[in-house]
Amino acid sequence: MRKSFSLKNLLGMTFILLTVFAANPIGFQSGPFQAQPAHAGFFDDDLDVFDEVLDLVAGNYVYPPDFKKLFTAATDAMLKTVEKEELAVTSVHTGKTLETNGKKFSYQLSFNKDENMKALQGVYDFISREFKGKVSKKDLEKAGIDGLMDSLDPYSLYMDKEEFEASMRDTEGEYGGVGMVITLVDNQLTVVRVIKNSPSDRAGILPNDIITRVDKQEIKGMQIHELAAKLRGYPNTQVNIDVFRPSTKVTQLTTLTREIISIETVQYKYLGDQTGYIRISSFSKKTDDQLEAAFEKAEKDGVQALVLDLRDNPGGLLSQSVKVASHFLEEGQLVVYTQGRDRHDTQQYESVYDDRWRKKPLAVLINGHSASASEIVSGSLKDAGKALILGERSYGKGSVQTIFRMSDSSGLRLTTSKYYTPSGIDITVNGIAPEIQIERDISGLPSDNAPSAKSKTTKPPVIKPIIVKESEVQDFLKKRGETVKGDTDLLVAFAKMTINNPPQPTKGHALAKARELAKDMHHY
């Protein structure tokens, strides 16, 4: 029986930079997201927005503020707005001395918020006065804000008015752009996936292609949101990108015409043998509706077992992840909970449906680019014993961002809490570990290749995963007389064998069958 869905203050999305779906997933939830205007008093209206941002960080950030760290990052960013040749910066004890054209200003920072604010005000006044006409007050203030935010975490971000409006508009499931899923790999803008029938698809752009320049500008060193802003634009406008293809070592200039991209986040396919395949590419406003349409097709096909593919899914709306997980859980069962800075700052999100699909065998596929909302779904189903998890350890993005609208209509996305699976697993620290790990020895890509695997220390799984190589699955299928083509998805094939023929009644039975299959494959 379907239950009406209502979750207070629930808008958890991945900041997928919806000109390009950036696969460095970032979720947010909204409160009323209207910050109260700050009253800086003696600042004479200068640095009002900075003061607002600082107050929000001090009061709402998931970790207690380190004011010395925050102000060091902010003042250093302000100093970078001036050419090194024009401003001499000397470190003196615990502070710095600025000098230009015989004029000097010295300051030092402490762990006291008010003292540091006065020091930053002095830096701001000195630079804006001595470099008048070269550096605007607006740019100087924004540099300070960006520096402060960069000192927090990769997902907290300040957006000017235009960026904020674009990010809010993008949550509706349509955007004006070029239609590709991207991520930063070793500081290279790498294509993860191309949206079907999009400008990028028609231009022949492929996964693993690397974008090196946008409109003749080198993009090395830019943040992902800056790159997205360059690709985003009005429909029917053009953007020129230089695309390097590692497989051929060739760079090609490609012109793309932006258009409205309609996001179909759910794809369904019947695999035969009463097994259905559903892929969810992201969690947008329309995902659950599209999933229910896929379920209708599956019912017509007589599906008794499902493969749910969340690979390369960067996340999306928290509300949609709760709905998706609910189809496979009992009503009222815990899906995920959040924990903020204060131990009492917790919130639980429970299953809202009582759906027939919870009784059918389910395999969930994840990889190193499965993040945020996709980790909520896979983590909840794993903990509940409702699904077998196959693939690779997920990305590890379990932080919650709250959106605040500033007094000047700019916006702040701030990490305010963290996601935990029902069993208490910290998603950011550990990601979601598969129970069946597939080693990619055919595709040429290393297993566990997500950025999180390189930069985070993850706890080993409590139960050692079953490990199967792609080549073993391929040989096993061939020896069974099945046709294996170049586009055969070996992980999907293994998942199908694990949960079906016949449909396995429980996750324990599916795991036992997976061990039996792996043993047989190892012997070939």
Name the 3-class secondary structure at 459: coil
Asked whether 320 and 349 are in contact (CB, 8 A), the reply is no
Name the residues annotated as catalytic: 372, 383, 397
For residues 77 and 146, the answer to whether their CB atoms sit within 8 Å is: yes
Q: Alpha carbon 48 to chain centroid distance?
A: 30
Helix (H, G, I), strand (E, B) or coil at 66: coil
Phi, psi of 2 (to 5 degrees): -85, 135
Annotate 410-453 with DSSP letters as a single string. Answer: -EEEEEEEEEE-TT--BHHHH----SEEEE-SSSS--TT-SHHH
Whole-angstrom Cα distance, residue 470 to residue 392?
A: 13
Return d(Cα 73, Cα 332) in angstroms, integer. Answer: 44
Rounded-to-integer distance, Cα 188 and Cα 128, Å: 35
CB-CB contact of 366 with 389 (8 Å): yes
Helix, strand or coil, per DSSP, at residue 522: helix
User: What is the rounded distance in angstroms from the CA atom of residue 256 to the CA atom of residue 260?
Assistant: 13
H helical segments located in 195-335: 199-202, 224-231, 287-300, 318-326
Query: 232 with 167: CB under 8 angstroms?
Result: no
d(CA 168, CA 149): 19
Which two tokens mark 28?
A: 């947010």
Rounded to 10 deg, the angle between the 161-169 and 224-231 helix axes is 80
Q: Helix (H) and strand (E) counts for the chain? A: 15, 25
* 458, 396 contact by CB (below 8 A): yes
Question: In 3D, which of 166, 164, 197, 154 has the Cα closest to residue 18?
Answer: 166
Q: CA 147 → CA 70, 81, 91, 151, 222, distances in Å?
A: 8, 11, 19, 7, 14
**Radius of gyration, alpha carbons of the chain:** 25
